[in-house]
Amino acid sequence: MRKLQVSFVIAWLAMLSISIGLYAQQDSLDFPAPQFMLPFYDHFTLNHLNVTAMGRGQTTNALAGKVDNAVNNPATLLSDKSYLYMELTIKPPISEINVPDSMMYSSPIPFGMFGVSGRIYKSIHAAVSYNVPKSVVYDNFTVETGQGADAVTTYPAYYLHQFTTTLAGSVGKLRLGLNVHQQLHQFKDIVVFQTFDRIDKTYYVVRLQPGVFYQSGQLGIGATCTLPTSAIMNIKYAEYDVTLPMQVTAGVSFKSTNNSFYGDIDWEQCSQMSSAFDDRLTLKAGYEKLIRNITYRAGVISMPGVYTGAYRLPVHQTAEADEVLWWNAVPRGGYIDKSDQLFGTIGFTYNFKGGELTLGLMQDLMGNVPATQFATSIGFNLDTLKGKRFLIFDK
């Protein structure tokens, strides 16, 4: 009888262990897209383009601007002079937040945006730019081989290169605009469990972003929507039918003589990429004050996370035994902890004859993901530089 009870307990514990294992497997996220393009990495991968907007809490939707602001809302493009813009964005490395180890996220290429804008006919304006909305390098992913005598080290990376064409025009006081974003999603050293293949892939995607902007006196109202887009991404050992989610942003501005107030609300439907993701509602507020030829700025950004829980790396299902051997000590997945962020932002612009120099800084204040971004830009009115009409835009 005692032996029967012991056998029953052992069988019950075995079944419980299997059930817990199956539950854990079911509760872990299988990637719906290549790893670092997933929205729960946005806490570091995002480059907050537009240095002027960075200083005032990344508010962009409800004020007229040039090529830098047009990338955020195409309808706000309203500069009659040909304008050349260059931007650098620096993100100091941060520690990997998902594993208790010394690995880092970094972004070694400090490039943000380069573009030109101007008027092409009456109230019709256009702009073109090259910009980098996302970038990250994971330093590093290492698998020990030869009983620890050697190791295979990779540096997984993701860069989103974007070529943006903007066209905007007026209907009375209402402005309408359209961005055509030609995107190159570049991945290097994609991690696939149980293989040492160096997987580098680049995918081409076109995204459309219409926008509207209305200004009457001191009040401005704007909105824009980046439409959802589907793409097939095959990384050799896994094929993803990816949906790049819809993003809707609306904003309001109020300007007095030397003071301006801004507010934006941004909604991204991340659940379109995976039902495991929450939709993200980001709130932004900013303030500007002009004193002589310097504009001072401050703002806040509340950016929630979209997923908390375990994930599994893709796996090479038909790997050879001599390759699988070295992966036995490597965890197949990881855990995404809480990643809500609250950024404080500051910045200023020095206006000089023919152009402007801008600095911006944003720092997470909440501490879940202590990310920092620093950016600087310089812009020139090209006709002022040359003393005459410089581009076809100026005719």
Asked if 258 and 302 sit in the same domain, the reply is: yes
Mean pLDDT, range 42-67, rounded to an integer: 96
CA distance 122 to 119: 7
Asked if 139 and 25 sit in the same domain, the reply is: no
Asked if 3 and 108 sit in the same domain, the reply is: no
Asked if 145 and 225 sit in the same domain, the reply is: yes
Range with the poorest average pLDDT among 19-28, 150-159, 333-342: 19-28
Asked if 183 and 241 sit in the same domain, the reply is: yes
In this prediction, residue 98 carries a pLDDT of: 66
pLDDT at residue 15 above 50? no
Asked if 122 and 256 sit in the same domain, the reply is: yes
Q: How many CB atoms lie within 10 A of CB 252?
A: 18
Structure tokens given for 308: 């908390």
CA distance 94 to 110: 15
Cα dihedral across residues 155, 25, 95, 57: positive or negative: positive
Please name the residues in contact with 84: beta carbons below 8 A apart, sequence gap of 6 or more.
Answer: 115, 116, 379, 380, 382
CA distance 156 to 175: 42
Going by C-alpha positions, the residue among 77, 137, 132, 76 that lies closest to residue 108 is 137
DSSP strand pairing (229-234 vs 219-226): unpaired
Asked if 2 and 112 sit in the same domain, the reply is: no
For residue 75, the SS3 value is helix
In this prediction, residue 294 carries a pLDDT of: 96
Domain count for the chain? 2
pLDDT at residue 4 above 80? no
In this prediction, residue 385 carries a pLDDT of: 60
CA distance 360 to 375: 5
Asked if 224 and 285 sit in the same domain, the reply is: yes
In this prediction, residue 100 carries a pLDDT of: 56
Asked if 335 and 250 sit in the same domain, the reply is: yes
CA distance 361 to 89: 10
For residue 11, the SS3 value is helix
pLDDT band at 382; cut points 50, 70, 90: confident
- What does the DSSP 8-state code read for residue 193? B
150: domain CATH number? 2.40.160.60
Could you read off the pLDDT of 148-192 as tens digits, one per residue? 778 999 999 999 999 999 999 999 889 999 999 999 999 999 999
pLDDT band at 134; cut points 50, 70, 90: very high
Place of tokens 């980046």: 226
User: Rg of the chain's alpha carbons, rounded to an integer?
Assistant: 25
Structural domain span for residue 23: 1-30
389, amino acid identity: R
CA distance 118 to 172: 20
Asked if 54 and 4 sit in the same domain, the reply is: no
Asked if 267 and 376 sit in the same domain, the reply is: yes
- How far, in whole angstroms, is CA 49 from its chain's centroid? 9
Asked if 25 and 144 sit in the same domain, the reply is: no
pLDDT band at 321; cut points 50, 70, 90: confident
In this prediction, residue 389 carries a pLDDT of: 52
> In the beta sheet, which residues pair with residue 189?
none
- Contact status, residue 130 vs residue 153, Cβ threshold 8 Å: no
pLDDT band at 12; cut points 50, 70, 90: very low
Work out the mean pLDDT of the chain and round it to a whole number: 89
